[in-house]
């Protein structure tokens, strides 16, 4: 069977148009942007053009508000630790939702070890942030509040504009991790009141090895990677020209094609959800309506997510279970626990994230593989057999 890839939340192929655009920076255009001669100045110009493209995607004030990094994890660290440490005189409290990515939660835990107070905002059963609890947790000492635009595991889109109003009335700066959402839904940092925003190249069909942090003009942050002073002194190190220019081109393509592609994938997603929920003891996770257009996530009683993943791979169909960044532990997803699932329920998760290679014609094969996989695993499961007695 031809491969059907359904795990675009963990990794995306580079768009061929992006590769062709950025390929010269692997071979001919090898100049260092810090050099003052012509080859270096040409490289510098290419980076500034990439900044402009990324700023345009999120309606940032200008390209100068974009700082390049190596990816989403470094960007989240720079946003959280850099802002908290630079503004430590204004307060030593940080806040995040219970379903943030571990690259947000762990930097806050590190700050907690160094004297900061770290508060977690609960979410409801659909993964929506509890706005009343957020309002109660924030104080004048809260320097950074981090709420993701949309969750990578359950697809729920958060009410960022409402969250921003609460944060700015009670605290100081709002950081938004838009890794899962950028390029799939429109984001306007000015209209939505976002102070810092995380973007990832590979999550928009760009090359791996590049990310970007939007910093609202006037906000002060400090470097967490000191060195030669690149990226306004906030992220030192010779720039990855291929990844950065590729990221710029990927964002430009995403902005142009987002509406049409999201509409196309939403039709496939909705049909998938309808068919898979016909399976006994199958449940949708995340918000039924306020979710990413390419995202479908489920849980199945009496079976394990890891077994689902491996069995689906036997059909040459790749899906996910929980976050790709947390599979090194045997613990259930913290996201699924946060929305109120029991440990045994959280273990039976399957996440499907669609992409440009997916077509409606693949639907019957996907649904059949899921049904066969669930039935096969339940036939082997002592929990399922016990239920039948």
- The residues that are catalytic are 325
Contact 111, 118 (CB under 8 A): yes
Cα distance between residue 194 and residue 216, in whole Å? 8
Q: To 5 degrees, how large is the angle CA 224–CA 217–CA 65?
A: 65
- 113: exposed, middle or buried (C-beta count within 10 Å: 0-12, 13-18, 19+)? exposed
Beta strands in 103-207 (DSSP E): 117-121, 142-146, 173-177, 196-200
Report the SS3 class of residue 176.
strand
CB atoms under 10 Å from CB of 6, counted, come to 24
Scored b (16 or more CB within 10 A) or e, 242-251 reads: bbbbbbbbbb
CB contact at 8 A, 67 and 216: no
C-alpha–C-alpha distance, residues 55 and 61, integer Å: 7
Cβ atoms within 10 Å, residue 386: 9
DSSP code of residue 23: G
Q: Alpha carbon 349 to chain centroid distance?
A: 18
In angstroms, what CA-CA distances link 68 with 55, 82, 253, 328? 12, 14, 19, 28
CA 135, distance to chain mean position in Å, is 24
CA atoms of 172 and 139, how far apart (whole Å)? 9
Distance CA(34)–CA(13), nearest Å, equals 30
């Amino acid at each position: 069977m031809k491969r059907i890839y359904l795990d675009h939340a963990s990794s995306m192929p580079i768009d061929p148009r992006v590769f062709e655009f950025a390929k010269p920076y692997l071979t001919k255009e090898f100049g260092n942007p810090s050099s003052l001669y012509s080859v270096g100045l040409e490289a510098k110009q290419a980076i500034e053009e990439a900044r402009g493209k990324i700023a345009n995607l999120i309606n940032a004030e200008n390209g100068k508000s974009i700082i390049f990094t190596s990816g989403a994890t470094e960007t989240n660290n720079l946003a959280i630790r850099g802002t908290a440490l630079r503004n430590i005189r204004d307060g030593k409290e940080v806040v995040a939702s219970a379903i943030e990515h571990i690259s947000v939660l762990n930097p806050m835990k590190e700050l907690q070890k160094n004297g900061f107070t770290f508060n977690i905002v609960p979410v409801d059963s659909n993964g929506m942030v509890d706005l009343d609890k957020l309002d109660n947790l924030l104080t004048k000492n809260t320097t950074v509040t981090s709420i993701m635009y949309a969750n990578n595991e359950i697809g729920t889109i958060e009410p960022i504009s409402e969250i921003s109003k609460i944060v700015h009335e009670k605290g100081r700066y709002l950081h938004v991790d838009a890794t899962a959402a950028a390029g799939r839904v429109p984001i306007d940092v000015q209209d939505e009141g976002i102070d810092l925003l995380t973007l990832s190249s590979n999550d928009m069909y760009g090359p791996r090895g590049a990310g970007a942090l939007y910093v609202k003009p006037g906000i002060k942050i400090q470097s967490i990677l000191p060195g030669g002073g690149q990226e306004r002194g906030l992220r030192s190190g010779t720039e990855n020209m291929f990844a950065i220019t590729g990221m710029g081109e990927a964002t430009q393509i995403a902005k142009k094609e987002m509406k049409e592609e999201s509409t196309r994938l939403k039709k496939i997603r909705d049909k998938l959800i309808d068919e898979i929920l016909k399976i006994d003891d199958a449940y949708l996770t995340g918000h039924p309506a306020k979710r990413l257009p390419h995202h479908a996530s489920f849980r199945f009683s009496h079976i394990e997510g890891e077994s689902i993943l491996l069995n689906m791979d036997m059909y040459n169909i790749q899906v996910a279970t929980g976050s790709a960044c947390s599979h090194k532990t045997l613990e259930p997803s913290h996201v699924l626990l946060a929305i109120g699932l029991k440990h045994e329920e959280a273990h039976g998760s399957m996440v499907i994230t669609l992409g440009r290679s997916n077509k409606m014609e693949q639907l019957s094969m996907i649904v059949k593989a899921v049904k066969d996989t669930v039935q096969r695993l339940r036939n082997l499961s002592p929990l399922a057999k016990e239920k039948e007695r």
